[in-house]
Amino acid sequence: MADSDETADDERHRTIAACTSCGALYAALEVSDGSYLPIGRRDGCQCGGTAFDPVEGALLDSATEPGNADDD
């Protein structure tokens, strides 16, 4: 049964997604229907939004570069 769990995880694409309501960024998984689910937030965004768009281009590069997290 571990193989089917691994397959399910492999079919999901990890990315950064933005809430379409407020623009908040989340690590997210793309699911088979083409929607995105924020990792660790089953109920969606902190603003209440439940729709997310993938972040692409320069913003994605900036968000995933090492050292861009707040060190405060």
The three-class DSSP label of residue 62 is helix
Say if residues 38 and 28 touch (Cβ distance below 8 Å).
yes
Strand ranges, E, within the chain: 13-19, 25-30, 36-38, 52-54
Q: Which residues contact 67 (CB under 8 A, 6 or more apart)?
A: none
In this structure, the number of other CB atoms found within 10 A of the CB of residue 43 comes to 8
43-55: pLDDT as tens digits = 999 999 999 999 9
User: Which pTM was predicted?
Assistant: 0.65
- Confidence grade of residue 42 (pLDDT, cut at 50, 70, 90): confident
Per-residue pLDDT tens over the stretch 1-31 = 444 444 455 556 899 999 999 999 999 999 8
